[in-house]
Chain A
Amino acid sequence: MPKNYERREFLADLVKFPCATLLLGVSGPIKALASAGDEYQASEHHYAMGVQIEKCIGCGKCVEACKIENDVPMEPYYFRTWIERYIIYADGEVSVDSPNGGIDGFPPIESEKAILRTFFVPKLCNHCENPPCVQVCPVGATFKTQDGVILVDDDYCIGCRYCIQACPYGARFLDPRTHTAGKCTFCYHRITDGLLPACVEICPTQARIFGELDKLSTPLNRMMRQSNIQVLKAHMNTEPKVFYSDLDGEVR
């Protein structure tokens, strides 16, 4: 840094700076033009999912489709999405079951007790706005993308299982083949290609609605405007982005 800003240098800079800023200013639009067309722009999207409890018939097709689409191990205990059946008995007892994640459907209820309410709850990663799993990852192998999806970097994950413990929704598992964390990606390879996540595509009653959170006229916003919306474990301040309509207070 010169002690005194000489007149000569000042004049030279006076010419340089406008040229540089002009170039910078132009390069942005040029890049945008070059990449215009079909290229996916993550920063223009903000994804979320809606689940309409009153439409879920517990067929388990979403669980099956998810496993096929994402090459999830077929044996039980490894699920990116699964269905829980809630049974609330007249005496106040609540029971929850999810035989093999609901992939083969559900058996009839065995209990002789009178049932007050019973319904299905599809579950998956909530793609939290404030994700605990990302916070605890010691190597930065799980992260939130610009479009709000929580992903895992399989090549970088060290399999320490911190994120599995940190997730309040039990949405993660350790893949037995790769020993890395596995979880729902909102079918990132599909949504960036303009398709719906496999579970949404396959749901026979359209109980699942996938879409943009920040755009006004979308099926998701329509559903969120007209329904009583709740999220799971709101008190944990994770700001989940899976929105349930008409969710029973007993659901955890």
Chain B
Amino acid sequence: MKSGKIPNQVLQVGLVFLIVGATMILVRQRFIPESFGELGHYRADAVEVNASHEIQFAGWQACAECHDDVVATKNSSFHRTLSCETCHGPAAEHAREEAEEDPPLPTGKELCLTCHRYLVSRPTGFPQIIEDRHEPAKACHSCHDPHDPVPSERPESCAGCHATISRVIAVSHHAPLDCEVCHEAEPEHFLRPRAHLPRKPFERDFCGNCHAAGIETPANFRGVDLTALDIPKIEQDTHGGTLLCWQCHYQHSPEAR
């Protein structure tokens, strides 16, 4: 073998490496998409695909372009947090003026009850009704304007909104007490509940009016005769130390006894 010439076996192995390498490059070019790796370990074009879906819900600002009066009414009412399409359904096609039919005008009770049917899991204070007991024969919109829903009259009882508490207290030792005995609510509370919160007792003496030892059970406690009740009495000076009554007892369902 002459010096300087590359041995045959090296050439052969080199050829194999060359073919394998070239194949790999070709395969990579064939299978790896063009935009792969531009932004990370993914196809950059996929971002565009995800962003190009068709929009179904136009958003209330789009509705306001034509229905500004209705939107203005709604936006200053209790339903201000709702979007138009919460009740009227997806309306992007309608907003583009391409839809053949107008968005649905819900007339039955079912849509309103989706939110306002009484469910114990709903947050306290959210207005809820029991459909069998709240005007069962009438449609909701015959008394309430859905774009400006106010109670058609002052709710008869606090239970209209505070259903959970009223159910708890009804089967408790405090059942004879009306809500107003402990909570003074201004009339405005019934129309703008969160802006005018009712008062709550804030001192031990309030409960002591009935429960302190040595105090006679009032025959006329804010209009309620309590003498027929066997009210538990405590030594107000020593009972509970510095704790306030409601730090241990739940007033709507007192657990003593």
Contacts and interface: CB of A to CB of B under 8 A. Distances in A.
A109 B41 contact: no
Given A202-B57, A204-B115, A42 B47 contact: yes
Nearest to A42: B47
Interface string A143-172: 111100001111110000000000000000
Contacts of A57: 115, 119, 122-123, 126
B198 interface: no
Given A140-B36, A156-B46, A59 B51 contact: no
B115 A195 contact: no
A190 interface: yes
Contacts of B89: 68
A141 B47 CA distance: 11
Contacts of A119: 121, 123
Given A58-B121, A85-B121, A143 B41 contact: yes
B57 to A, nearest CB: 5
Interface in B97-114: 114
Nearest to A144: B40
A185 B81 CA distance: 24
A105 B115 CA distance: 8
Interface string B101-143: 0000000000000110101111100100000000000000000
Given A140-B42, A141-B42, A153-B43, A118 B120 contact: yes
A61 B86 contact: yes
Given A87-B121, A143-B41, A61 B56 contact: no
B42 A61 contact: no
21 contacts: A56-B123, A57-B122, A65-B85, A69-B57, A108-B120, A109-B120, A115-B120, A140-B41, A142-B42, A146-B39, A151-B46, A151-B47, A152-B46, A153-B43, A154-B46, A156-B46, A188-B47, A201-B83, A201-B85, A204-B83, A204-B115
* 3 A-B pairs with least C-beta separation: A143-B42, A153-B46, A189-B53
Given A58-B122, A201-B83, 19 more contacts: A57-B115, A57-B123, A58-B119, A65-B57, A68-B57, A70-B53, A86-B121, A118-B120, A140-B41, A143-B46, A145-B39, A151-B50, A152-B50, A153-B42, A189-B53, A193-B51, A202-B85, A202-B86, A203-B86
